[in-house]
């Protein structure tokens, strides 16, 4: 049965509270019980009214706690069952009284069992509430608080109750049963106090637990006061204790129900305010001692001993609290130092960070710029290590690099990690020896999570000038470092003013290139790849060109490095791949059998290191409808020399049916082992070997050896950069059947491929070979 709404809504939508009928009934029953009990203290009253009130109040509390639920429904069901047990016990006590089996405040054994059963059900519910983790200091303070409360209660009981208790119980079984019930109620009150102080659960509303804690305290204190009513057998402490307990249970259940329906979170943070309990106990026992002295009490010594014990317990608690506060202050100080350290240092390597480095450079410049310099060190191809070996190995390598650099630095230097694989060093005095030592140290293998790795680094250095700031000095070192990267791996470059102009030009070029990708400033030309000796068209290589709206044509040698450095090579490469594939499909539709048999597209190392590039190739083939065998992906040997992600992507591309060509072969690492590991179909011999092929020198030997390797490994050899009839004739004599170069044709627009004819006819003519 619902007892009416607990929350409503005012016109603004704010929840409001209204008293339920259950709570109203409990308040009324408790008020009547207390009025009737107070009247009975001054004149005899019919006991039937007191027992009748219990038959009304206890079921109301049981019903209220049964309806209180939320996530703590199980706990409240235990409370409801406990109240039912107490109601049955009060009915048994009434039977004992009216049958004459017991008199006054005492109860029979069966009645005591019912009381204890009800109390134990509540105890079981309390024990099922999860507790929060607390420190040893918190448990110590709580234990001292409990001891203080117990000693205080014992003092007052000794002085007020115990003189009458022995005569009241008279050593009878009924008296013993009463002691058991009172003791159990005291335990319940103590455990409720523990749960209120130390619960960390969100199942039960915290204020509801506070109210429930009072029920145990009321039962224990009220039961202990029973001997005071020995001269009034028509009264029973249960006549007011159970209605009051029922009211408190209704209040707690109402609080829980309102919190659940309002959707508010149940848990509340534990208060950090000092507990008033110990000081209240000192004041109370002190007042009792003074009263005993004034009244000449016979048990004055016991009260005095108890007061001293309470004072000592409170003093001990205060000492524990002071020690805990001191420990907290020490922890706070240590934490502040730790936070200050973390704010200025890199979490991975422990090196100073940019903030600390800037501060150190500023201090060094304030003392005079002479001899002050900053070096920026950036690892080459670090991303490949992360991609191929994993970030754990990459992190371990960064730590090893930090340790190796630090070991080479002269006193007074400051080493910092600026982020990623970039380090900075503040140097004082001559820097040449320090840089040489760093370079030498980096050439030795570095341990990294079970791997011994050799890495190279690009180093840029800037010398301080009068008027420099820390940020300006770091900026110039950064410009020099990028200049070193542009010159190749493992380089050291000292800043000069011309680099600023080049850096600004590169930045503008990169910005313009990004715009060019979006505004159709780029276009493709196609250089024929021909069959020798007659120059019949076999395929084409797609070459990107850029016509700037203000600067006119910009060559690939200018803008491709800028694209590589800024990462624009990835979207640029994707655009080239898409456009070339679409053009190849148009040629097949328009020219049929006369269309180029293959279309080659250059792919950069940066693109290959992007995991999923093979999926991008497959997607382009799917969108354009180009058969995979028509597409050839050209990569430099340097891009795949180290294996890893790049080689895995090439293998995935080859699995699609796309051909793989090694471009500019012989100019990079030139490992013949690469021909076994890389899924290559075509080997393109670099122009530098073709230039002197007619001189019968070392170049001719290399070119001849390469054609032999290609024949043995069933690779198609393509000679690049053929510019003269003599080169064409010599290459054909050595066994080459495919070539490209200005001798046959310059790069052509797409529409010119339909009318392609070789620019020259070679001196030797042989039947064309079948590819």
Minimal CA–CA distance to 250: which of 5, 8, 9, 28? 28
Who wins on pLDDT, 137 or 603?
Answer: 603
Long-range contacts: 552-559, Cβ < 8 Å, 24+?
A: 554/509, 558/509, 559/509, 559/513
Minimal CA–CA distance to 119: which of 209, 190, 67? 190
pLDDT interval class at 153 (50, 70, 90): low
Give the separation between CA 235 and CA 623, rounded to whole angstroms. Answer: 96
Whole-number mean pLDDT of the chain? 79
Give the pLDDT score at 202: 56
Beta-carbon contacts of 360 under 8 Å, excluding residues fewer than 6 positions away, are 352, 414, 426
pLDDT interval class at 588 (50, 70, 90): very high
Give the separation between CA 53 and CA 41, rounded to whole angstroms. Answer: 18
pLDDT tens figures, 319-351: 777 777 777 777 787 787 777 777 788 888 989
The bridge status of strand 536-548 relative to strand 552-554 is antiparallel
Do 281 and 392 fall into the same domain?
Answer: no
Tell me the residue length of the chain: 771
* Direct distance between the N- and C-terminal alpha carbons of the chain, in angstroms, rounded to an integer: 93
pTM: 0.50
Taking every pair of Cα atoms in the chain, the longest distance, rounded to a whole number of angstroms, is 143
Report how far Cα 640 is from the mean position of its chain's Cα atoms: 35
* Dihedral angle sign, alpha carbons of residues 630, 636, 642, 644: negative
DSSP state of 67: H
Who wins on pLDDT, 556 or 174?
Answer: 556
The full 3-state SS of 464-528, as one line of letters, equals CCCCCCHHHHHHHHHHHHHHHHHHCCCCEEECCHHHHHHHHHHHHHHHHHHHHHHCCCEEEEEEE
In a domain, 349, yes or no: no
DSSP state of 743: T
Do 133 and 237 fall into the same domain?
Answer: yes
Do 646 and 740 fall into the same domain?
Answer: yes
Last residue of a domain, one of 438, 470, 495: 495
Give the separation between CA 709 and CA 697, rounded to whole angstroms. Answer: 19
Q: Which whole number is the average pLDDT over 672-676? A: 69
Who wins on pLDDT, 457 or 114?
Answer: 457
In a domain, 762, yes or no: no
Say if residue 54's pLDDT is above 50. Answer: yes
Give the pLDDT score at 277: 64
Give the separation between CA 137 and CA 133, rounded to whole angstroms. Answer: 12
464-499: burial string, b at 16+ Cβ within 10 Å, e else: beeebebebbbbbbbbbbbbbbbeeeebbbbbeeeb
Give the separation between CA 190 and CA 112, rounded to whole angstroms. Answer: 20
539-572: burial string, b at 16+ Cβ within 10 Å, e else: bbbbbbbbeeeeeeebeeeebbebbbbbebbbeb
- Geometric angle at alpha carbon 560, from 557 and 564, rounded to 5°: 140
Q: Token match 């519910």: residue?
A: 125
Give the pLDDT score at 682: 93
Give the separation between CA 282 and CA 364, rounded to whole angstroms. Answer: 63
**Residue pair 748/582 in contact by the 8 Å Cβ criterion:** no
- Looking at the chain, the number of H-run helices and the number of E-run strands are 27, 18
Give the pLDDT score at 526: 96
510-531: burial string, b at 16+ Cβ within 10 Å, e else: bebbeebbeeebbebbbbbbbb
Please give the torsion angle defined by the CA atoms of residues 468, 472, 477 and 483, in that order, rounded to the nearest 10 degrees. -120
In a domain, 766, yes or no: no
**Residue pair 516/528 in contact by the 8 Å Cβ criterion:** no
Q: Which whole number is the average pLDDT over 265-280? A: 56
Give the pLDDT score at 360: 92
In a domain, 57, yes or no: yes
CA 261 vs CA 17, 20, 719: distances in Å: 11, 14, 83
- Does residue 623 sit in helix, strand or coil? helix
Give the separation between CA 469 and CA 486, rounded to whole angstroms. Answer: 26
In a domain, 461, yes or no: yes
Q: Token match 């694989």: residue?
A: 421
pLDDT interval class at 158 (50, 70, 90): low
Give the separation between CA 647 and CA 656, rounded to whole angstroms. Answer: 15
Minimal CA–CA distance to 600: which of 574, 631, 624, 569? 631
Do 521 and 631 fall into the same domain?
Answer: yes
Give the separation between CA 212 and CA 196, rounded to whole angstroms. Answer: 9
**Which of 104-108, 190-194, 212-216 is the most confident on average?**
212-216
Say if residue 400's pLDDT is above 70. Answer: yes
253-288: burial string, b at 16+ Cβ within 10 Å, e else: bbbbbbbbeeeeebeeeeeeeeeebbeebbeebeeb
pLDDT tens figures, 212-255: 767 766 665 665 556 566 666 667 777 777 788 888 888 888 88
Bridge partners of 424? 376, 416
Who wins on pLDDT, 638 or 500?
Answer: 500
DSSP string of 145-169?
A: HHHHHHHHHHHHIIIIIHHHHHHHH
**Peptide bond before residue 533 is cis, with ω within 30 degrees of 0:** yes
Q: At what angle do helices 109-127 and 173-198 cross, to 10 degrees?
A: 10
In a domain, 764, yes or no: no
Give the pLDDT score at 4: 45
Say if residue 301's pLDDT is above 90. Answer: no
Do 167 and 259 fall into the same domain?
Answer: yes
Say if residue 747's pLDDT is above 70. Answer: yes
DSSP string of 625-656?
A: T--GGGEEEEEEHHHHTT-HHHHHHHHHHHHT
CATH number, domain with residue 381: 3.30.70.270
Give the pLDDT score at 267: 47
Give the pLDDT score at 656: 94
**Which of 154-163, 490-499, 570-579 is the most confident on average?**
570-579
Q: State the burial class of residue 369 (Cβ atoms within 10 Å of its Cβ: 0-12, 13-18, 19+).
A: middle
Give the separation between CA 723 and CA 663, rounded to whole angstroms. Answer: 18
Who wins on pLDDT, 17 or 285?
Answer: 285
Say if residue 490's pLDDT is above 50. Answer: yes
In a domain, 758, yes or no: no
Q: Which of 9-18, 92-101, 261-270, 630-639 has the lowest mean pLDDT?
A: 9-18
Q: Write out the two tokens for 616.
A: 């991008």
Q: Which whole number is the average pLDDT over 567-596? A: 93
In a domain, 548, yes or no: yes
Do 315 and 377 fall into the same domain?
Answer: no
Do 131 and 216 fall into the same domain?
Answer: yes
Do 686 and 572 fall into the same domain?
Answer: yes
For the sheet with 372-379, list strands across it.
Answer: 414-419, 422-428, 372-379, 457-463, 492-494
pLDDT interval class at 450 (50, 70, 90): confident
CA 164 vs CA 157, 159, 229, 231, 351: distances in Å: 10, 10, 10, 11, 77
Who wins on pLDDT, 18 or 125?
Answer: 125
635-657: burial string, b at 16+ Cβ within 10 Å, e else: bbbbbbbeebbbbbbbebbbeee
Do 444 and 587 fall into the same domain?
Answer: no
Q: Which stretches does DSSP call E strand in 647-761?
A: 659-665, 682-685, 716-719, 738-739
Minimal CA–CA distance to 706: which of 728, 727, 723, 690? 690
pLDDT tens figures, 696-740: 777 788 888 889 888 888 899 999 999 999 999 999 999 999 999
Last residue of a domain, one of 445, 463, 495: 495
Say if residue 79's pLDDT is above 70. Answer: yes
Give the separation between CA 415 and CA 438, rounded to whole angstroms. Answer: 12
Percentage of the chain with pLDDT > 90? 26
Give the separation between CA 671 and CA 651, rounded to whole angstroms. Answer: 18
Give the separation between CA 353 and CA 416, rounded to whole angstroms. Answer: 5
CATH number, domain with residue 549: 3.20.20.450
Say if residue 766's pLDDT is above 50. Answer: no
CA 513 vs CA 87, 479, 499, 549: distances in Å: 88, 20, 20, 11
Say if residue 184's pLDDT is above 60. Answer: no
Based on the structure, what is the number of domains in the chain? 4
Give the pLDDT score at 181: 54
Do 238 and 299 fall into the same domain?
Answer: no
CATH number, domain with residue 180: 1.20.1070
Q: Which whole number is the average pLDDT over 435-453? A: 87
Percentage of the chain with pLDDT > 70? 77
Q: Which whole number is the average pLDDT over 71-91? A: 81
Say if residue 362's pLDDT is above 50. Answer: yes
Q: At what angle do helices 300-344 and 136-156 cross, to 10 degrees?
A: 160
Do 636 and 570 fall into the same domain?
Answer: yes
Do 483 and 547 fall into the same domain?
Answer: no
Give the pLDDT score at 523: 94
**Residue pair 194/135 in contact by the 8 Å Cβ criterion:** no
Last residue of a domain, one of 286, 314, 343: 343
pLDDT tens figures, 455-489: 888 999 999 999 999 999 999 999 899 888 877 77
**Residue pair 102/96 in contact by the 8 Å Cβ criterion:** yes
Give the separation between CA 98 and CA 86, rounded to whole angstroms. Answer: 18
Give the pLDDT score at 16: 41
* Residue 359 belongs to domain spanning: 354-495
Say if residue 117's pLDDT is above 90. Answer: no
Who wins on pLDDT, 383 or 438?
Answer: 438
Q: Write out the two tokens for 46.
A: 């019919």
Say if residue 132's pLDDT is above 60. Answer: no
Bridge partners of 171? none
């Amino acid at each position: 049965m619902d007892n009416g709404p607990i929350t409503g809504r005012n016109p603004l939508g704010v929840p409001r509270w209204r008293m339920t009928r259950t709570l109203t009934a409990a308040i009324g029953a408790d008020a009547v019980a207390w009025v009737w009990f107070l009247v009975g203290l001054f004149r005899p009253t019919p006991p039937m009214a007191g027992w009748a009130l219990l038959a009304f109040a206890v079921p109301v509390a049981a019903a209220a706690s049964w309806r209180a639920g939320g996530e703590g429904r199980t706990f409240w069901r235990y409370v409801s069952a406990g109240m039912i047990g107490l109601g049955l016990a009060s009915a048994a006590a009434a039977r004992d009284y009216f049958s004459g089996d017991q008199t006054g405040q005492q109860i029979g054994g069966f009645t005591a069992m019912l009381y204890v059963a009800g109390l134990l059900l509540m105890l079981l519910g309390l024990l099922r509430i999860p507790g929060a983790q607390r420190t040893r200091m918190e448990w110590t303070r709580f234990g001292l608080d409990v001891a203080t409360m117990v000693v205080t209660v014992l003092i007052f009981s000794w002085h007020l109750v115990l003189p009458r208790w022995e005569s009241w119980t008279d050593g009878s079984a009924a008296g013993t049963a009463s002691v058991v019930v009172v003791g159990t109620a005291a335990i319940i009150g103590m455990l409720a106090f523990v749960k209120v102080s130390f619960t960390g659960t969100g199942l039960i509303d915290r204020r509801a637990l506070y109210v429930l804690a009072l029920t145990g305290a009321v039962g224990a204190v009220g039961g202990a006061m029973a001997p005071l009513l020995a001269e009034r057998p028509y009264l029973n402490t249960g006549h007011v204790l159970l209605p009051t307990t029922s009211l408190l249970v209704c209040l707690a259940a109402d609080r829980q129900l309102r919190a659940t329906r309002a959707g508010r979170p149940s848990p509340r943070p534990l208060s950090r305010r000092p507990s008033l309990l110990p000081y209240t106990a000192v004041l109370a026992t002190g007042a009792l001692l003074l009263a005993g002295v004034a009244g000449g009490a016979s048990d004055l010594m016991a009260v005095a001993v108890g007061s001293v014990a309470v004072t000592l317990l409170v003093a001990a608690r205060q000492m524990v609290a002071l020690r805990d506060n001191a420990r907290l202050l020490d922890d706070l100080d240590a934490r502040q130092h730790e936070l200050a350290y973390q704010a200025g240092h890199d979490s991975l390597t422990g090196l100073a960070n940019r903030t600390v480095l800037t501060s150190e450079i500023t201090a060094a410049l304030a003392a005079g710029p002479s001899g002050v310099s900053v070096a920026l060190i950036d690892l080459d191809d670090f991303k490949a290590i992360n991609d191929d070996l994993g970030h754990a190995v990459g992190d371990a390598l960064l730590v090893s690099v930090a340790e190796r650099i630090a070991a080479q630095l002269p006193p007074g230097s400051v080493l910092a990690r600026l982020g990623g694989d970039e380090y900075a060093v503040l140097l004082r005095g001559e820097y040449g020896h320090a840089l040489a030592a760093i370079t030498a140290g980096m050439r030795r293998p570095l341990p990294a999570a079970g791997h011994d790795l050799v890495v190279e680094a690009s180093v840029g250095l800037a010398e301080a000038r009068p008027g420099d700031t820390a940020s300006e000095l770091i900026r110039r070192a950064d410009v020099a470092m990028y200049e070193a990267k542009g010159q190749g791996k493992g380089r050291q470059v000292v800043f000069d003013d011309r680099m600023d102009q080049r850096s600004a030009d590169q930045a503008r070029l990169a910005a313009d290139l990004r715009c060019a990708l979006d505004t159709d400033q780029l276009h493709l030309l196609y250089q024929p790849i021909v069959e020798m000796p007659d120059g019949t068209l076999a395929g084409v290589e797609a070459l990107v060109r850029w016509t700037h709206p203000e600067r006119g044509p910009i060559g690939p040698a200018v803008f491709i490095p800028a694209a590589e450095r800024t990462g624009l090579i990835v979207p640029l490469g994707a655009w080239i791949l898409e456009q070339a594939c679409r053009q190849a499909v148009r040629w097949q539709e328009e020219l049929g059998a006369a269309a180029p048999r293959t279309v080659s597209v250059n792919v950069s190392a940066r693109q290959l290191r992007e995991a999923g590039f093979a999926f991008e190739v497959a997607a382009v083939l799917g969108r354009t409808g180009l058969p995979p065998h028509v597409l050839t992906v050209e990569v430099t040997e340097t891009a795949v020399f180290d294996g890893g992600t790049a080689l895995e992507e090439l293998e995935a591309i080859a699995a699609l049916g796309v051909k793989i060509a090694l471009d500019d072969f012989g100019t990079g690492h030139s490992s013949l082992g690469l021909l076994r590991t890389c899924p290559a179909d075509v080997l393109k011999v670099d122009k530098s070997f073709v230039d002197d092929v007619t001189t019968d020198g070392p170049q001719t030997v290399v070119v001849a050896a390469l054609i032999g390797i290609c024949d043995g490994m069933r690779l198609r050899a393509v000679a690049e950069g053929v510019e003269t009839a003599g080169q064409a004739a010599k290459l054909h004599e050595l066994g080459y059947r495919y070539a490209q170069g200005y001798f046959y044709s310059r790069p052509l627009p797409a529409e010119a491929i339909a009318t392609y004819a070789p620019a020259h006819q070679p001196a030797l003519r042989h039947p064309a070979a079948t590819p």
